[in-house]
Structure 1
Amino acid sequence: MASHRKPRGRSAGIRTTPAVGITTAALTSVALLSQSAQAAPAAPTAPSAPVEPSLDEVKKKVDDLYHQAGVATQRYNSAKEKTEKQRKKVDRLLDGVARRADKLNEARQELGSFAAAQYRTGAASETATMMLANDPQGYFDQNHLADRLTSRQKKAVDEYQAEQASATKQRTKAAKSLKTLSESRDDLRTSKRTVQRKLGEARALLSELTAEEKARLAAIERKKEREAKRKAEELAREQAAEAERKRKAEEAAQKEREKEREKERGGGQGSSGPDTGSGPGPGAEPGSGATKAAKVIGFAEAQIGKPYVWGATGPDSYDCSGLTQDAWKAAGISLPRTTWDQVKVGTTVKTADAAPGDLVFFYDDISHVGIYIGDGKMIHAPKPGANVRVESIYYMPIHSVVRPA
């Protein structure tokens, strides 16, 4: 029997379910659109451009590169000096090896004549056997060859053995020295490449600057020079005041000595006049420190205007320690080649007590040096691209002041 219940239409189901889904989706879309409308629109992201270094950063980088090149120059100077010394040592050793070889050949010929004589007489040629043995001394001892040899033959055997041992020792020394020489040359090449690389990097940085930037860089440099000059003038005033104080103190002491002498003479009887202490004072006599300093400064002044060239020791160009070495050589004092060794020669004094001729060393690594000339100034060979010149000692951070003599 057929049911009288009204069947549910398919269309009703379709209308109900999608309606809920559409409503939810629509509400969600409206909410998202509303949030998007309220939010500020995002700006398009542009690719970030590389940050160009400031002019101060470029200057600092260039100065650092020049400083590093200066350090490498001192390493180069040290390696070059060591290489030259080692080469001379090797030459002496090789000459010694050649002389020992000649003497060994002479001793061998002497023994050979004895061996030939034994062969001609039909005797057993023990001398020849000994010469060919790996251990001539052992063979000699075992066979008591001394009992069969004349004193002349015995002397020839002794000389041969002595020369053989000496030649071996000399060859060993020469081989070790050659190895050291090779290592020194490697250090020399490495230091040279380092200097060239650092200077190349500095030149490349400077070449990238515009004309305006170069002008600004020059202005920064002038400001630095003015500040260094101001400090030098301040030091000069302090030193002048101290010198005046010492002069007055010496004058007062001199007057007191004159008064004491007057009292001892009974009020001036028999006096030939006060002793003013005239004549050359300490340091003024020939060979004194003041005389040597004058020679040093005179030499240095004659080099002003010559170019700085790393590794150079004159006479046409200099690096910093090459100039100081040559200047003190003119005064009869031999200084080592590098700043690291020069700073060890002489007496260290305070900067305020610096006197003409003293060596002023710079930076914590002691990679630069100049010659003090007074008034807070020095003569030095600054850096590549610059000439030997007068400059304030405060242009660079001072490490120490040394008086060689």
Structure 2
Amino acid sequence: MNRRRCAAAAIALVCALSVSALQVQAMAAPAPPGVTASSPDPTAPGMAASVTRPGPDAMAPAAPVTPNAPYAGRGSLEKVREEIDSLYLQAGAATDAYNLAEEQSAKQSAEIVGLAKAVVAGQAKIADLRNMAGAQAREQYRNGGLPPGAQLLLSDNPQLFLDGVNRVQQSQQATKGLLAELTRTQEDLERYTRDAGTNWKKLEANRVKQAAAKKKINERIAAAKKLESQLAKDELAGLHQLEEDFAYRAQAAWLGSGVLKEINRDASASGRKAVSFATAQIGKPYVWGAEGPRSYDCSGLTSQAWAAAGIPIPRTSQEQWRQLPHIAIKDMRPGDLIIYHGDASHVGMYVGDGVIVHAPRPGRNVTLTGAGTMRILGVVRPDS
């Protein structure tokens, strides 16, 4: 009876299962001023996008900005920019945690469903085995309660005795096999029930993680938007110029290191397909947790691009960094993924000529930008 209750509980928890299809996000930086990208030709070998690098004069801001101009008692526009960047980075890290919890929840849900089906099948098998055992018992009862061996010993027909010995041995083996199979099936049923309960606990823990990450994401995004909303029109323009200047200086420093002198490898066939998919999404909005087709977050874009190329990769930027083969920057080729920030909370796809395609952050669209505009953690290759 206890086993029946456990099995019923396992089936009931599957009936209660409803994993929310929640959403996710990750962050990035704006495109550098003075850098323009032509529409990439994803079918061309080698570089998938061409970039016109800025001349020396492009280092100057498009409009004069006073980085230390006071703003609402917060010190300066530069500090506001840093604060907003920090909020979006925190939201990006929370997004990856949310994405991972969602991915794990989906896996555990599928495992619970599979275990519940195994429980149902096990119950049916036990019922069949018990019916077979009952049939044997009823047959014994019809024979006067004597086992077949005893009946043969009492027989005065030697031929009947000899003919029945083999059948008795077969019957005994079948009975032992029946009992052994019944025992194994009961043990399997108990294990399925325990595993279903364990997975249910993990599922609930991941739901808690998802809820906490979602709350953090929304809080950080709301705080960043609030900061921007408090700026006057000219201050907002100055903030955007500071963002562009910061990104441009970072890209110029990266290019100035001579890194592109060694990066001259052609894309693989699958890499060209991934680049073609990713660049076709340019202009679509960033939405955290989105995997297309109308919107994307950073890892949603890269994972879907490589799925379109026939190579499934992990959903989150952190798992892409953890699971995919790492390569040196000098060996980078179009289609490779550049992972950003110390916590691997952002990812973009290299398309050639020092440029990536990525989904930046809330309020921005999928775009091309300099690969060096953010701090590079490393590079991974899905089709290594």
The normalised TM-score by structure 1 is: 0.64
Aligned-partner Cα distance in 2 for 1:169–1:394: 52
Query: Is 2:274 the counterpart of 1:296?
Result: yes
Aligned-partner Cα distance in 2 for 1:153–1:172: 29
Which stretch of the first structure deviates more once superposed, 223-232 or 59-68? 223-232
| 1:175 aligned residue | 197
Match of 1:108 among 130, 133, 141: 130
Query: Is 2:208 the counterpart of 1:230?
Result: no
| 1:378 aligned residue | 356
| 1:56 aligned residue | 78
Match of 2:288 among 291, 301, 310: 310
- RMSD after superposition: 3.0
Amino acid at match of 1:176: T
Three-state SS of the structure 1 residue aligned to 2:248 is helix
Deviations 1:165-216 (A, max 9, x none): 2222221222222222222222222222221121122122222222232122
Match of 1:338 among 313, 316, 323: 316
Amino acid at match of 2:245: K
Contact 1:232 1:377 in 2 (8 A): no
Aligned-partner Cα distance in 1 for 2:77–2:326: 41
| 1:268 aligned residue | none
Three-state SS of the structure 1 residue aligned to 2:310 is coil
| 1:395 aligned residue | 373
What percentage of aligned pairs have identical amino acids? 37
Deviations 1:11-53 (A, max 9, x none): xxxxxxxxxxxxxxxxxxxxxxxxxxxxxxxxxxxxxxx9444
Contact 1:348 1:401 in 2 (8 A): yes
Aligned-partner Cα distance in 2 for 1:177–1:153: 36
Amino acid at match of 2:286: Y
Aligned-partner Cα distance in 1 for 2:187–2:339: 50
Amino acid at match of 2:376: I
Three-state SS of the structure 1 residue aligned to 2:372 is helix
Contact 2:74 2:80 in 1 (8 A): no
Query: Is 2:212 the counterpart of 1:190?
Result: yes
| 2:328 aligned residue | 349
Compute the displacement of 1:94 (Å): 0.8
Aligned-partner Cα distance in 2 for 1:199–1:65: 7
| 1:94 aligned residue | 116
Amino acid at match of 2:326: T
Compute the displacement of 1:392 (Å): 0.9
Aligned-partner Cα distance in 1 for 2:341–2:116: 42
Amino acid at match of 1:103: K
Larger radius of gyration: 1
| 1:21 aligned residue | none
Three-state SS of the structure 2 residue aligned to 1:343 is helix
Correspondence 1:208-223 to 2 at 5 A: 208-223=230-245
Contact 2:284 2:366 in 1 (8 A): yes
Three-state SS of the structure 1 residue aligned to 2:378 is strand
Amino acid at match of 1:383: R
Rate the CA distance shift 1:320–1:110 in 2: closer, same or farther, 3 A.
same
Amino acid at match of 1:348: I
Deviations 1:248-273 (A, max 9, x none): xxxxxxxxxxxxxxxxxxxxxxxxxx
Amino acid at match of 1:105: A
Deviations 1:314-356 (A, max 9, x none): 2221111111112222333222112122124123213x55332
Contact 2:292 2:300 in 1 (8 A): yes
More helix by share: 1
Ranges in structure 2 where 5+ consecutive residues have no aligned partner: 1-71, 147-167
Aligned-partner Cα distance in 2 for 1:330–1:80: 22
Amino acid at match of 1:239: L
Contact 2:291 2:301 in 1 (8 A): yes
Deviations 1:347-382 (A, max 9, x none): 3213x5533222111111111111112222111110
| 2:4 aligned residue | none
| 1:25 aligned residue | none
Correspondence 1:324-335 to 2 at 5 A: 324-335=302-313
Rate the CA distance shift 1:114–1:354 in 2: closer, same or farther, 3 A.
closer
Amino acid at match of 1:317: S
Aligned-partner Cα distance in 2 for 1:220–1:163: 68
Three-state SS of the structure 2 residue aligned to 1:308 is coil
Rate the CA distance shift 1:301–1:151 in 2: closer, same or farther, 3 A.
closer
Number of residue pairs the alignment of both structures matches: 289
Compute the displacement of 1:112 (Å): 4.0
Contact 1:233 1:375 in 2 (8 A): no
Aligned-partner Cα distance in 2 for 1:290–1:164: 52
Larger RCO: 1 or 2 (CA < 8 Å, sep 6+) = 2
Aligned-partner Cα distance in 1 for 2:248–2:181: 76
Contact 1:66 1:383 in 2 (8 A): yes
Match of 2:221 among 185, 199, 202: 199
Aligned-partner Cα distance in 1 for 2:211–2:286: 20
Ranges in structure 1 where 5+ consecutive residues have no aligned partner: 1-49, 125-145, 247-282
Deviations 1:289-312 (A, max 9, x none): 532332222111101011111112
| 2:42 aligned residue | none
